[in-house]
Amino acid sequence: MPSWEGKSKGNKLGYSIFIGTLRYGGVLPAYVLLRFVAAYYFLFSYSSSRPIFQYFHTRVGHGWWRSLLSVYRNYYVFGQVLIDKVVVMSGIRNRFTFEFEGEQYLREITAAGKGGIMLSAHLGNWEVAGHLFRRLETRINIVMFDGEHERIKKYLSSVTGERNVNIIVIKDDLSHIYAINEALSNQELVCMHADRFLEGNKTVTASFLGADARFPAGPFLLAATFRVPVSLVFAFKETSSHYHLYATQPREYHGRRRQGVETAVQDFVHELEAMVKKYPEQWFNYYDFWEIPEDK
């Protein structure tokens, strides 16, 4: 499957069990329970295990057995970052610490008074980073697909409260473009992922980890069209209780729009590769990211 299907896994019962464990036992017991859940997905979720195994074996370069172990580790870390998201956003007592490398770059964007774009990927824990962006003292807008099941979203909102950011939902009628334009005109920050797309969306192809892969054209087209500062932002779990956040020096993509898009894509892919190599087990795209249809 060359594109993401737009929906998140999980169900209300699973979320409620983990949240109950967090409330009454804390983070550590939730992590212990998670080992069994990760083992279940490792053993029985072939549709996601196959492409993530190929990622470790073919793209990262691990041997067969190490790739197999990395699949389990990937599921476990993914579960940890989901738990951490709930903990941080709901205010459950924890011992998390954070290091923010490049925060001054985001402050430069807000101080410039032009608005700005932050691009990231499904790598690491974006939700933790987004929750901490309130320190920038400016309005944050996150652009996303409305892919979670509605009842799960409502349940999580009842636990964590509403996000302290404005959500701009991507819609077929392109109304999200006007919302983004309004946010930037108001000198606000707009955040979006630049690694997933739904089938039928416009894409750009770039060499990534040794093979061609498709990326959504939209985020890069917006960067070239609005010509506001763009920073690439990531957050990674380095220990059970410590996160490392990164932001790159902002850049504006001037010139003809096509040229701006190509430059933005290359910058993004270059930084994404560096981060994947540094944190390979925190890649959370569970489909064949590098599959290119024959007619492309």
pLDDT value of position 155: 47
- Picking from 288, 133, 144, 293, the residue whose alpha carbon sits closest to that of residue 218 is 144
- Picking from 216, 202, 226, 229, the residue whose alpha carbon sits closest to that of residue 265 is 216
For residue 117, list its beta bridge partners.
190, 230
Give the tokens for residue 245.
């956040």
State how far the Cα of 90 lies from the Cα of 92, in Å rounded to an integer: 6
- Picking from 52, 14, 9, the residue whose alpha carbon sits closest to that of residue 33 is 14
pLDDT value of position 135: 75
- Picking from 272, 275, 279, the residue whose alpha carbon sits closest to that of residue 207 is 272
pLDDT value of position 170: 79
Cα separation values, 251 from 18, 29, 189, 271, Å: 41, 43, 14, 13
Supply the angle between the helices 46-54 and 27-44 in degrees, to the nearest 10.
Answer: 90
Residue type at 18?
F
- CA 214 from chain centre, in angstroms, equals 16
pLDDT value of position 159: 52
Return the C-alpha torsion angle 210, 216, 221, 224, nearest 10: -40
What angle (nearest 5°) sits at the alpha carbon of residue 107, between those of residues 114 and 242? 140
Q: How large is the greatest C-alpha to C-alpha distance in the chain, in angstroms?
A: 57
pLDDT value of position 172: 73
- Picking from 288, 4, 11, the residue whose alpha carbon sits closest to that of residue 148 is 11
Q: Which pLDDT tens digits describe the chain residue by residue (296 residues)? A: 454 444 455 555 556 666 777 776 778 888 988 999 899 999 999 888 999 999 999 999 999 999 999 999 999 999 999 888 888 777 777 788 999 999 999 999 988 888 999 999 999 987 777 666 767 778 888 888 765 545 545 544 555 555 556 778 877 777 888 899 999 989 899 999 999 988 888 999 999 999 999 999 999 999 998 889 999 999 999 999 999 999 999 999 986 678 889 999 999 999 999 999 999 999 999 999 997 766 54
State how far the Cα of 186 lies from the Cα of 190, in Å rounded to an integer: 11
Cα separation values, 262 from 221, 243, 248, Å: 9, 31, 18
- Pairing state between β 230-239 and 203-208: unpaired
Which residue has 């007619």 as its token pair?
A: 295
State how far the Cα of 204 lies from the Cα of 217, in Å rounded to an integer: 6
Give the tokens for residue 191.
């955040």
Radius of gyration (C-alpha) of the chain in whole angstroms: 19
Find out whether 190 and 223 touch, Cβ atoms under 8 Å.
Answer: no
State how far the Cα of 193 lies from the Cα of 125, in Å rounded to an integer: 12
Q: Cβ–Cβ contacts within 10 Å for residue 118, how many?
A: 26
